[in-house]
């Protein structure tokens, strides 16, 4: 019989598992797990005899730890699921003692964006909500930061790792409920951002069933012909419908959205691309986040190797967008040396 793991479970599930004990014991276990405890012996307000009993009956994590690699302000971990899938997640620091956890929702990815390493791996399966939550809990101790006055050790969560989150929406929702539970991690939904390549069914579901989290759309370009060549999901999810869903999301109180523009050297940095994004953004409360493509060997677009954009190319494109009246941010490179930057996950 498989040993029950507890990390990522909601409190009511732990109460069911520990129904023979006083309820406050379940709350203690739940809070310790939410703080990143890796073993029951870390739970110092639980009697030693009970710690030992828990060690015999349960385990904290369902996944097994493989490795951790560091590159300056980025740390990438790899864990293995019970069925052998390798999952990567990243802890990012802004250099000012503020941390962001970048989490995955799938093993591989079915979306097939040509500029993303994960998309080249194919799709294995959705992660369950516990496997999503466990990534965050494993990243907690890597910050080296102590929680003070109930402040968070990790400040933000971005669901921008391996996979397309909106193709695993039920499990993602359960993981977000774990993160936002007032008796546990107590994250504000405004400090959780979910990035999608634009799955209309999921977007309309979110827009009609708020609250959710902050939304980021990997737009790349709003020239639909070029986008469909770069991002095959475009064909089944036309940008007109994606925009309609984002407008509904905001009408229903979902808040500002981020339009992500991964820049591919010589491909989507034209004036036409900037103009298309400006047209798409009209009427939306949006900010455009420029992401210079992080190199991944062997990735090609229509028979030619993908290239990093030149620095001048990036700055010129940024100015084009700004001159069109858009709010623009430029993402800094973090984690390239450990293949932990945007678009590189899966390059072990």
Of 2, 88, 201, 260, catalytic: 88
Would you call 85 a catalytic residue per the annotation? no
How many whole angstroms separate alpha carbon 291 and alpha carbon 305?
18
How many whole angstroms separate alpha carbon 44 and alpha carbon 14?
18
How many whole angstroms separate alpha carbon 185 and alpha carbon 153?
10
Of 102, 113, 200, 342, catalytic: 342
Q: Percent helix, strand and coil across the chain, each rounded to 5?
A: 35, 20, 40
Tokens of 278: 């400006």
323: number of Cβ within 10 Å: 10
Q: How many residues does the chain have?
A: 348
Would you call 313 a catalytic residue per the annotation? no
What are the DSSP calls for 190-205, one per residue? GGEEEEES--HHHHHH
C-alpha to C-alpha distances, 198 to 66, 117, 219, 244, nearest whole angstrom: 32, 18, 8, 11
Cβ contacts of 66 within 8 Å, gap of 6 or more: 77, 78, 79, 80, 86
What is the strand order of the sheet 86-93 is part of? 64-71, 74-80, 86-93, 99-102, 156-159, 192-196, 214-218, 257-263, 286-292, 328-330
For residue 25, the surrounding DSSP H or E stretch is helix 23-34
Place of tokens 């009970």: 50
Q: Which residues are catalytic?
A: 88, 342
């Amino acid at each position: 019989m498989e040993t029950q793991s507890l990390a990522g479970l909601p409190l009511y599930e732990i109460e069911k598992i520990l129904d023979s004990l006083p309820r406050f014991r379940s709350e203690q276990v739940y809070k310790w797990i939410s703080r990143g405890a890796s073993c029951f012996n870390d739970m110092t307000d639980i009697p030693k005899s009970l710690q030992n009993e828990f060690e015999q009956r349960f385990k904290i994590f369902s996944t097994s730890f493989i490795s951790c690699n560091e590159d300056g302000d980025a740390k990438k971990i790899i864990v293995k699921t019970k069925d052998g899938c390798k999952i990567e997640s990243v802890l990012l620091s802004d250099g000012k003692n503020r941390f962001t956890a970048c989490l995955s929702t799938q093993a591989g990815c079915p979306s097939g964006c040509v500029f993303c390493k994960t998309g080249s791996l194919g799709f294995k399966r959705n992660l369950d909500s516990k496997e999503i939550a466990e990534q965050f809990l494993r990243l907690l101790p890597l910050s080296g930061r102590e929680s003070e006055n109930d402040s968070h050790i990790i400040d933000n969560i971005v669901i921008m790792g391996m996979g397309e989150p909106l193709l695993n929406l039920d499990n993602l929702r359960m993981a977000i409920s774990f993160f936002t539970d007032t008796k546990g991690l107590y994250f504000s939904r405004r400090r959780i951002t979910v990035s999608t390549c634009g799955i209309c069914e999921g977007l309309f579901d979110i827009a009609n069933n708020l609250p959710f989290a902050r939304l980021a759309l990997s737009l790349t370009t709003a020239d639909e012909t070029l986008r469909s060549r770069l991002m095959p999901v475009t064909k089944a999810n036309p940008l007109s419908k994606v925009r309609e869903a984002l407008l509904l999301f905001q009408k229903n109180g979902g808040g500002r959205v981020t339009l992500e523009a991964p820049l591919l050297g010589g491909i989507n940095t034209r004036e036409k691309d900037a103009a298309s994004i400006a047209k798409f953004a009209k009427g939306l409360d949006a900010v455009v986040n420029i992401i210079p493509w992080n190199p991944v060997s062997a990735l090609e677009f229509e028979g030619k190797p993908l290239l990093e954009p030149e620095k001048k190319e990036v700055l010129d494109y940024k100015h084009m967008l700004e001159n069109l009246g858009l709010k623009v941010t430029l993402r800094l490179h973090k984690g390239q040396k450990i293949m932990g930057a945007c678009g590189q996950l899966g390059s072990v």
